[in-house]
């Protein structure tokens, strides 16, 4: 069976007990995968496309990746930070780095998938959700996907719609609030991984073949996030 190689940051990382209850999407996705599909999460805290590449993490993935595997590419949280070791420009270096991931997957005969970053849980004093926390980076991901003919899952748009729908109070249970409004607790990771998997289903074969045929969580049902 195929393996999913997941490149990303702390919102994606497969956490251990030492960081519980923080939970990454690569962990929660295990609940949705078909039997035999392996999750190989290379995501690490604080990484951007730049630092991930400079540390040789993509090279490590390439050593294991084989034909028919999948490379999920999800960055943005740290590319946008004002840190020379991590910052990329959404119009230039960010797109160039995403292309390096795409080309690496294609060289191995794997399927690249671009995923925009999950939204931050940001509300104003009146309880109104504030979208756009990732600036130009989600659009840069979509533009790169269009240029390279790679499927893009716009998880930014999906999670922004969800946060607006559930509101300030209810959404606190899904994030590491009050510690932060970026990382997910197990409940939030399962819900958002469910959204991700629903988008994979929409892509059809071979992406939908990664998934179990079971139902999505009740939280995900009947919610229009398009």
CB distance 129 to 164 below 8 Å: yes
**How is residue 142 written in tokens?**
């979509």
Would you say residue 132 lies in a domain? yes
Domain limits for position 100: 3-220
Which residues contact residue 19 at a Cβ distance below 8 angstroms, ignoring those fewer than 6 apart? none
Strands (E), the chain: 3-7, 38-41, 70-74, 111-115, 152-153
Under the banding of pLDDT at 50, 70 and 90, the label for residue 220 is: low
**How is residue 215 written in tokens?**
């139902």
**pLDDT one-digit tens code per residue, 31-84:** 999 999 999 999 999 999 999 999 999 999 999 999 999 999 999 999 999 999
Would you say residue 226 lies in a domain? no
Report the CATH number at residue 176: 3.40.50.1110
Query: How many domains are contained in the chain?
Result: 1
Would you say residue 225 lies in a domain? no
**pLDDT one-digit tens code per residue, 82-120:** 999 999 999 999 999 999 999 999 999 999 999 999 999
The pLDDT, as a whole number, for residue 221 is 46
**How is residue 117 written in tokens?**
């970053």
**pLDDT one-digit tens code per residue, 9-38:** 999 999 999 999 999 999 999 999 999 999
- Report how far apart the first and last C-alpha atoms of the chain are (Å, whole number): 31
Would you say residue 78 lies in a domain? yes
Mean pLDDT for 174-191 is 97
Residue with tokens 């040789």: 56
3-state secondary structure of 181: coil
């Amino acid at each position: 069976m195929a393996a999913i190689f997941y490149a990303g940051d702390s919102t994606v990382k497969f956490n251990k007990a030492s960081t519980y209850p923080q939970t990454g999407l690569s962990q929660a996705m295990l609940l949705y995968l078909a039997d035999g599909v392996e999750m190989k999460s290379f995501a690490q805290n604080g990484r951007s496309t730049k630092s991930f590449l400079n540390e040789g993490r993509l090279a490590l993935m390439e050593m294991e990746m084989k034909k028919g595997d999948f490379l999920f590419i999800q960055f943005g949280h740290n590319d946008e930070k004002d840190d020379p070791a991590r910052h990329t420009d959404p119009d230039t270096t960010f797109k160039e780095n995403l292309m390096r991931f795409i080309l690496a997957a294609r060289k191995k005969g794997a399927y690249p998938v671009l995923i925009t970053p999950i939204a931050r849980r940001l509300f104003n004093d009146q309880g109104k959700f504030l979208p756009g926390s990732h600036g130009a980076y989600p659009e840069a991901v979509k533009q790169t996907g269009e240029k390279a003919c790679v499927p893009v899952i716009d998880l930014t748009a999906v999670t922004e719609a969800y946060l607006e729908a559930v509101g300030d109070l209810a959404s606190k249970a899904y994030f590491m609030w009050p510690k932060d409004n970026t990382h997910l607790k197990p409940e939030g990771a399962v819900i958002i991984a469910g959204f991700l998997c629903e988008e994979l289903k929409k892509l059809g074969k071979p992406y939908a073949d990664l998934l179990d045929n079971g139902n999505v969580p009740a939280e995900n049902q009947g919610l229009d996030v398009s």
